[in-house]
Amino acid sequence: MAKVTELFAKRGARPLFIVDVSPPRSSDPSFARELRGLGADAVSVAYSPGRAVRMDTVAASALIKKAAGLSTIVNFATRDANRLALQMQALGADALGLENVLIVKGDDFGEKDQGRVRAVHDYRPTELIAAINRMNEGYDFRGLRLTRPTDLCVGAIVDLAADPQRQAELTLRKVQAGAHFFITQAVYDTKRVEQFRRNYEAVAGRNLERPVFCGVQMLMKDGVAFGDPPAAMLRAIEGGRSNVELALELVANLAKLGCDAFYLVPPIFKGGARDYAAAAKVIAAARAEKR
């Protein structure tokens, strides 16, 4: 298994794919075997998709690593735990040989959950990025020395659908906090990638010199979609066009902008199940085109 930064450095002309996966709604470990034929370079183990009770991301990542032989990215959310708990999770991930973590905020709870569950947000995502880098140096949040430093590759999120200027400023702060790589939310309009690059260069005075994985969501009829997919794309899906074809088209358009690393979100059924076979087809076809 490998760190994301190592995978990126050794990619050559071959496109890289991180695939978003869901932990199960149970303690059944057999889900991990479903990912054996995925063909991904790594999988990002989503944190409580749909705000549902699901297997812990550290445990799920360890099972995937063992059963499927894939590099994993453990998602940590600042929403649900204080800094003591999050740093204990980071130690657990490191002890299990899980080399990559992705820091997310976590979706806000809806009205139905008011009074049943409380958000914590003891850290902001940028603060947790800095804290884990401090653990890599051998110190916990109190400044006390760990008996052994962690060795975690830390990722962060970029939301290209949000205000581009604010995202550029926030991304720079995450770089300064020690983020090693970035994953974007689903991209539907490649112009947003270009706009973000211009804004970041203006804010930072240089290009973003970190691996960036551009988000590609595979849509499906009556499925779950993140962000705001264009009406034309939704009509194409409703009309029966293959979501594999649409995803490959977006990958090709992003490649024209120099993107060769992708964060692929498989089609999501209502209820949260994923079509990993469709994602595997995209990966295989994209790599075949590069041969």
What are the pLDDT digits (tens) for 9-18? 999 989 999 9
Instruction: Pick the closest to residue 106 from 125, 126, 131 (CA basis).
Output: 125
Distance (Å, rounded) from C-alpha 49 to C-alpha 60? 13
CA-only gyration radius of the chain, Å:
18
Distance (Å, rounded) from C-alpha 23 to C-alpha 29? 9
Let me know how many helices (H) and strands (E) the chain has, helices first.
Answer: 9, 8
What are the pLDDT digits (tens) for 135-145? 999 999 999 99
Q: Residue 97's pLDDT is what? A: 98
Q: How confident is the model at residue 188 (pLDDT cuts 50, 70, 90)?
A: very high
Q: Residue 230's pLDDT is what? A: 87
Q: Which two tokens stand for residue 69?
A: 């032989």
Q: Residue 291's pLDDT is what? A: 64
Instruction: Pick the closest to residue 22 from 33, 13, 31 (CA basis).
Output: 31
Q: Is the pLDDT of residue 34 over 90?
A: yes
- Cα–Cα distance list, 61 to 50, 83, 94, 99 (Å): 19, 21, 11, 10
Domain CATH code at residue 229: 3.20.20.220
Give the rounded percent of residues in the chain with a pLDDT score beyond 70: 100
Residue type, 146: L
Q: How confident is the model at residue 154 (pLDDT cuts 50, 70, 90)?
A: very high
Q: Is the pLDDT of residue 19 over 90?
A: yes
User: Would you call 63 helix, strand, or coil by DSSP?
Assistant: helix
Residue type, 94: D
What are the pLDDT digits (tens) for 49-90? 989 999 999 999 999 999 999 999 999 999 999 999 999 999
Maximal CA-CA distance, the chain: 59
Average confidence (pLDDT) over 272-286: 96
Q: Residue 240's pLDDT is what? A: 87
Considering only residues 108 and 94, tell me which one the structure prediction assigns the higher pLDDT. Answer: 94
Domain residue limits at 98: 4-289
DSSP E strand stretches across the chain: 16-21, 42-45, 71-77, 100-104, 153-158, 181-186, 212-217, 261-265
Q: Are 115 and 86 in contact (CB under 8 A)?
A: no
- Cα–Cα distance list, 79 to 14, 108, 118, 119, 179 (Å): 36, 8, 9, 5, 19
pTM: predicted TM-score of the whole model, two decimal places: 0.96
Instruction: Please tell me the total count of domains within the chain.
Output: 1
Average confidence (pLDDT) over 19-29: 97
Q: Residue 108's pLDDT is what? A: 86
What are the pLDDT digits (tens) for 214-248? 999 999 988 888 888 988 998 998 898 999 999 99
